[in-house]
Amino acid sequence: MSEKIDEKAYLVYGGTNYMTFFDAVLKFNSEEKKWTMLNKFPRSAKDSKFLKDGRISSASARSDKVIVLFGGCSPTTFYDDFMVLSIEHLKNDQNFSEITQIM
């Protein structure tokens, strides 16, 4: 799942390398060509299964204030849940840490 945060940043969630299903929320800065990982989650997302269960085929929707991630599947489960992340939270670089190695 990917979604545009603003003119220079994109949100990416989940995916697989055919061995592991990923549960990380990543941000790519297209100007700096830098990947970062969300490590400070808003209270509304702390208990979300999105952060515990890696998945593929998630979908998203965006408004001016939030990005909503929903659904997806793992090898054994089809999900019907959702997680809401505010654009303001996602724009704040202090909520992310730089990725220094390949996952």
Domain boundaries, the chain: 2-98
> Is the Cβ–Cβ distance between 71 and 80 less than 8 Å?
yes
State the average pLDDT over residues 8-36.
93
State the average pLDDT over residues 77-100.
94
pLDDT-derived band at 101 (thresholds 50, 70, 90) equals: confident
**How many CB atoms sit inside 10 A of residue 48's CB?**
19
Q: Residue 103: is its pLDDT beyond 70?
A: no
**How many CB atoms sit inside 10 A of residue 14's CB?**
23
Q: What residue ranges in the chain does DSSP mark as E strands? A: 2-4, 9-13, 25-29, 34-38, 59-62, 66-70, 82-86, 96-98
Question: Residue 56: beta bridge partners?
Answer: 73
pLDDT tens column, 26-72 = 999 999 999 999 999 998 888 888 888 899 999 999 999 999 999 99
Q: Answer left, alpha or beta for residue 71, where phi above 0 means left and psi between -120 and 50 means alpha.
A: left
> Is the Cβ–Cβ distance between 27 and 9 less than 8 Å?
yes
